[in-house]
Amino acid sequence: MERWERTRVWAPVAAMGALALGSALIPLRDATSASNLAFVFMAFTIIMAELGGALPALVAAVVSAMSLNFFLTEPYHTLSISKTDDLIAFLALAGCGLIAAAFGSRRERWSRSARRAHEELTVLRQLVDQVHG
């Protein structure tokens, strides 16, 4: 799957998945703090970086931070934050998500380089086979 095709598929999955994750975690918001629930979003962002690359990871990071804020921090169902701990969790999730997106971007570049090198080696092998054949 080409880079653009992969991004076109995974970016919407990242956005919808982060929203779904936020709403799915609502029953746990009274049992633990938002900072603990942020780990689930972080894992999701890393998965999006691996499967989709940099842009889906960036989408996952931004929408995850907003979803954490909207669904899991007081006051609920607003984009305001009343507790310092929740603000720190929001900023940490956003920052770590951006780092995961950057690593996803770097991995994409390495993958493209490896693919290009493999293609060039295949051509060289074919040339060597023709010379020896």
Per-residue pLDDT tens for 16-52?
999 999 999 999 999 998 889 999 999 999 999 888 8
The domain total for the chain is: 1
- Write down the pLDDT at residue 80: 87
How buried is residue 41: exposed, middle or buried, by Cβ count under 10 Å (0-12/13-18/19+)? buried
Does the pLDDT of residue 1 top 60, yes or no?
no
Range of 9's domain?
3-132
Query: Residue 125 to residues 53, 117, 118, 132: CA-CA distances in angstroms?
Result: 31, 12, 10, 10
Rounded to two decimals, what is the model's pTM? 0.74
- Write down the pLDDT at residue 116: 85
Residue 126 parent element (H or E): helix 84-132
CA 65, 70, 74, 80 torsion-angle sign: positive
Question: pLDDT tens-digit profile of 69-128?
Answer: 899 988 999 988 888 888 888 888 888 888 888 877 666 777 777 788 888 888 888 888
- Write down the pLDDT at residue 79: 85
